[in-house]
Structure 1
Amino acid sequence: MKANNSLFNNFGFLLPKFLREDYSPYKCNVSANRENYNFRARRIHWQNMIKTWVNTGKNPFLKPVECNNCLFDTRIPNIYIGSDGLCNMCMTYKKNFKLETLQSELETFVNTPRERGVNIDAVVAFSGGKDSAAALYWAKKKLHLEVVAVLVQNGFIPEQVINNGRELCDKLGVELVVLNIELAPFVKDMMDKNFTNGYPCYKCGEMFHKEIQEYCGKQRINRVILGRNWWRWIEPEVRSVRWVKDEASELNLQFFSLPFALQLTEKDVYKMLDDIGWKTVKIHGNSTNCVIPGLIEYPIYQRLGYHPELNLLSREVISGFLDKEEAKSQLADIKDNTDILQKMVNKKLQETQSGLGKQG
């Protein structure tokens, strides 16, 4: 049943379009974690499994077929495997990656002039975790940029993480600004629907970027550094920068994934942080700053059959940040923290209601 046999080559034009053409996971426009897994998403998932079967001769309806390079497999709705054993994400990355593109973006970012009257080069979107800590250090000490670290507290970042970040900022001579968002109501809504309508970390990321953008607009800072280890865009070419027009300030902002542009590995990051005396806060759930991933992994795993962070770690494997076996080991320890999650979310909601009552 392989796609490269003579029958397929001679009569392939008679096959459905999804079997004839290659496409990236993003072109499928369905969620990797099956939020809003409606009829359309299920149809695309089935098409990708059929395409895998045709390409590889392996039946994914009997047993998931895994990519030879990363952790992606046919349980993920927007993934299919090619005849060479690579998933469509790996194929797209390999096809569109050029190191010179990232180097050019880094040069453009560093040499972008400040807005008139502003004495800061860039905001470092500082989560308090290891990756943004490394990005902060590199921006300040290696690129010699004047930066401000902005941490967005979602209500689930422990004070120890913030204090840890403040110590690093003090050591580097960087101001730490803490902004606040209310994530708990969204987490509660997702919990009530067994996370079929959304994934908290995606919602947090959306709110996080909005807060950072608004801060930049008010302060007229036109560049943002992220501690992100994978691409901002993967097609038509792999890029480390996302340009955003802030309508309120009319600024053109660059959101720049610094560790990815530098092609740093996880070992590079830990060595850098060890050299400056950074102590990573250990939090269950593939996180070094927020407790949410470790609290929600069990119910989502029970629904999906795979770890909800598989998507993130696969992208880090594809980009070369860490190897496949290390990524697998990070997903192996799944704990049922449902009771803790419920109590914590209820407590956050009560605190919010109490605060609104006092204001009233």
Structure 2
Amino acid sequence: MISLVKSWEAILPKFLREDYSPYQCNVSSNREHYNLRAKRIHFQNRIKTWLNTGKNPFIKPVECSHCLFDTRIPNIYIGADGLCNMCMTYQKNFKPEILDSELQTFVNTPREPGAKVDAVVGFSGGKDSAVSLCLAKKKLGLDVTAVLVQNGFIPDLVIENGRKLCDMLGVELVVLNIDLAPYIKEMMDNNFKTGYPCYKCGDMFHKAIQDYCIENRINRIIMGRNWWHWIEPEVRSTRWVTNEKTGLKMQLFALPFVLQLTEKDIYRILDGIGWSTVKIHGNSTNCVIPGLVEYQVSKRLGYHPELNLLSREVITGFLEKEEAKHQLSEIKDNTETLKKWVDRQLEEIKNRA
């Protein structure tokens, strides 16, 4: 009987026989560039879910029993135990001792010759990076510089509020500028089928901070990220980047994640030092973009574009599932406000040219 089962399994397609992480699918979670290949993989993942659970995702999306991921997401499938493939991968590869080792490596890495500080904190002015700045200074005892990357959509109030925290901690605040508006305009013109602004901003944000570190010979970058940098072959909080021109090796380190903080922990720490973040619609404490694009992107996808981020926060234990759902429950149509912001930024860029 067992041999018959094994023979039957052998003729099944590979995607039905083997488990795999969402990243191995190599398709966008928010359906950017949703081409024939992406549609095929999405179809396969729904078939896999149907066979695993007995629930038909073509009639109604099947949701993970632990996080918010469901079968509307192209690279997600649900296993027989009710967990999505992201939760499966995280649980299989998470080892606390690895995070402990990464923390020790980061703290004990010496400065590069010529560097004036131990590390840069990628400081957005929001709650997670604010806690990272505070803990880097007070808990880890590092001499740091806060670097804020202004994408044109971070309100002045957020920057001034962040400056107050830096003054309180005795930390220098450096503001770098990037021009995100042209990319958002292009995405808007294509109904966001070719990209999601926060992903593009993230790439530009990392490049700006790394360029600053290369110029100032700083080899450590602290991020306010509350989820993993790598999930395979093991969950890691650190991403290593080497600049080919200078040979500088930089550690990008997710401090809230390595310390396994929760959102409640973060607010408790900030309350303890008497500092609060600015509340912005769109599940943000620093940038207006998530709240300005959520209606258009949600209308195209059928789900909130920040579902992916909050699902990862639920998986790591940073957020509870019901709280995550609550944070995504209100979607506002800010299309006209988005156009005004983008037009104003494009005009400023034109005037600088």
Fold-level match, TM-score > 0.5?
A: yes
Give the equivalent residue in structure 2 for 1:26: 23
Q: Distance in 2 between matches of 1:119 and 1:298?
A: 44
User: TM-score if structure 1 supplies the norm length?
Assistant: 0.96
**Structure 1 residue runs of 4 or more that deviate by more than 2 Å after TM superposition:** 5-10
> In the alignment, residue 140 of structure 1 is paired with which amino acid?
K
1:354 counterpart residue number: 351
TM superposition shift of 1:69? 0.2
Contact 1:285 1:294 in 2 (8 A): yes
* Partner residue, 2:121: 124
TM superposition shift of 1:9: 5.1
- Mapping 1:193-342, distance limit 5 Å: 193-342=190-339
TM-score calculated relative to the size of structure 2: 0.98
Root mean square deviation of aligned Cα = 1.1
Give the aligned partner of residue 151 of structure 1.
148
**8 Å contact 1:218–1:249 — kept in the other structure?**
no
Deviations 1:280-339 (A, max 9, x none): 101000110000000000011101100000000000000110110000000000000000
Unaligned runs of at least 5 residues, structure 1: none
Deviations 1:17-39 (A, max 9, x none): 00000000000000010000000
What is the Cα deviation at residue 247 of structure 1?
A: 2.1
Show structure 2 runs of 5+ residues with no match.
none
Give matches, 1:130-145, under 5 Å: 130-145=127-142
Deviates more, 1:208-217 or 1:245-254: 245-254
**CA deviation vs aligned residue, 1:81-112 (integer Å, no higher than 9, x gap):** 00000000000000000000000000000000
Gap change, CA 1:25 and 1:6, over 3 Å in 2: farther
CA distance in 1, matches of 2:279, 2:114: 41
Which residue, out of 178, 194, 201, partners 1:181? 178
d(CA) in 2 for partners of 1:76, 1:57:
18
Deviation at 1:117, TM superposition (A): 3.1
Q: Is the 8 A contact 2:114 2:217 kept in 1?
A: no
- 2:114/2:216 contact within 8 Å kept: no
| Worse-superposed segment, 116-125 or 58-67 | 116-125
Which one-letter code corresponds to 2:40 in the other structure? R
The answer for the alignment partner of 2:106 in structure 1 is 109
For the 8 Å contact 1:148–1:176, the answer to whether it is kept is yes
Amino acid at match of 1:193: N
* d(CA) in 2 for partners of 1:107, 1:287: 31
Identify which of 11, 15, 29 aligns with 1:14.
11
2:45 counterpart of 1:48: yes
User: What letter corresponds to residue 186 of structure 2 in structure 1?
Assistant: D
- Letter in structure 2 aligned against 1:347: R
Distance in 1 (CA, whole Å) between partners of 2:164 and 2:344 is 28
Aligned equivalents of 1:54, 1:8: Cα separation in 2: 15
